[in-house]
Amino acid sequence: MGRPSNADPSPKDVPRERCVTGIEGLDHILGGGIPKGNMVLLAGPVGTGKTTLSLEFLVHGAERGESSLFLSVTEASNKLIENLSSFDFFRKDLIKSNKLVFVDLPIMYERLGLDHEELTVEDIELLTRSVLDLVESVGADRVVLDSLTSLGYRIRRDERIRDFMLTLGQGLSRLGTTTLLVSEVAPMEGRYSSHGVEEAVVDGIILLGNASRQGDILRVLQVVKMRGTAHSRSQYVMELTPLGLLMAPHLKGNRAQGG
Ligand SMILES: Nc1ncnc2c1ncn2[C@@H]1O[C@H](COP(=O)(O)OP(=O)(O)O)[C@@H](O)[C@H]1O
Ligand SMILES: [Mg+2]
């Protein structure tokens, strides 16, 4: 089920090169970053910080001179950029220099003639090829798809979603791209994706959720799985600050609330 480069995730493997997320707490949990070339599911209920984490991941990449590509399905890029501007870590020149590139997938659908409701097998092949061509032409080291769930609504069938992800994953891995696929899940559902096939195909799962503490709802983060590295599976409290995401170990005794 895994991709060829990750066929043997033995811990004795030669250490993998890392994609440093630049989110300090997350890099710490992962022992230096996401193993380069991994395709990672970033799952969680609405409002848990998936889009914010994804954007911060890309901005830090662009700052390091890596090309970063945000594929937006649900939100218009200009709104995302506007919101991003309120964070201290954002620099507009990264967009001007094309280190940080935003593409609205609905515009791509339209250009490819894929603006009908349910995508056929041929449509999905065309879309996959176009996305991989785009990633290659941008020379993207980091890609975010926000969200896989929204795209999945149009692919619909489990086996087609699995095939789409396998082909996409193989292409991205060949290009050496590290990818976050955003997955919207309902709170309390105890799953990582809407179809249940997505988690089997990916190299890693980062789960965001909510936890209650004395009448407050905290945001929490947990690395559930990550091929190519040892990592903590503990829950961390994640705070959204103007400086970006901050993480601290979650004190025992607080109850997690789904996600
Ligand atoms: N620029 C910002 N400054 C402060 N908080 C923000 C900012 N942007 C988003 N947030 C907080 O993060 C929440 C949602 O984050 P978001 O990353 O969009 O979550 P998700 O993608 O998981 O739905 C918002 O409801 C808000 O509380
Ligand atoms: Mg979002």
Q: Which residue has the higher pLDDT, 102 or 215?
A: 102
> What tokens were used for 88?
């201290």
Strands 39-44 and 178-184: parallel
> What tokens were used for 36?
């380069």
Query: Mean per-residue pLDDT for 224-233?
Result: 97
Least confident of 12-21, 155-164, 171-180: 12-21
Res. 1: pLDDT tops 70: no
Ligand 2 center from residue 98 Cα (angstroms): 23
Q: Which residues make Cβ contacts (< 8 Å) with residue 45, sequence separation at least 6?
A: 184, 185, 186, 187, 208, 209, 210, 258, 259
Q: What is the Cα–Cα distance from 89 to 101, expressed in whole angstroms?
A: 16
Nearest-CA residue for ligand 1 atom 26 is: 47
pLDDT at position 12: 57
Q: Mind listing the pLDDT tens digit for each residue in 60-88?
A: 999 999 999 999 999 999 999 999 999 99
Ligand 1 center from residue 245 Cα (angstroms): 11
CB atoms within 10 A of CB 227: 21
Ligand 2 center from residue 54 Cα (angstroms): 9
Instruction: Report the pocket of ligand 1 as residue ranges, CB < 6 Å.
Output: 44, 46-52, 83, 86-87, 240
Q: Mind listing the pLDDT tens digit for each residue in 41-63?
A: 999 999 999 999 999 999 999 99
- Residue of 230, 186, 247, 197 whose CA lies nearest to 11: 230
Most informative mutation of 52, 53, 221 for ligand 1 (most atoms within 8 A of CB): 52
Q: What is the Cα–Cα distance from 142 to 131, expressed in whole angstroms?
A: 13
Q: Which residue has the higher pLDDT, 10 or 208?
A: 208
What ligand is nearest to the CA atom of residue 185? Answer: 1
pLDDT at position 21: 98
pLDDT at position 250: 86
Res. 113: pLDDT tops 90: yes
Query: Mean per-residue pLDDT for 84-108?
Result: 96
What ligand is nearest to the CA atom of residue 150? Answer: 2
Q: Which CATH class is domain 14-90+97-256?
A: alpha beta
pLDDT at position 188: 74
Which ligand 1 atom lies nearest to the CA of residue 53? Answer: 17
Rounded to two decimals, the pTM is 0.92
Ligand 1 center from residue 42 Cα (angstroms): 15
Which ligand 1 atom lies nearest to the CA of residue 87? Answer: 1
Ligand 1 center from residue 16 Cα (angstroms): 32
Q: Mind listing the pLDDT tens digit for each residue in 235-253?
A: 999 999 999 999 999 876 5
Query: Mean per-residue pLDDT for 11-37?
Result: 91
Ligand 2 center from residue 50 Cα (angstroms): 5
Report the share of the chain in percent with pLDDT over 90: 84
Res. 259: pLDDT tops 50: no
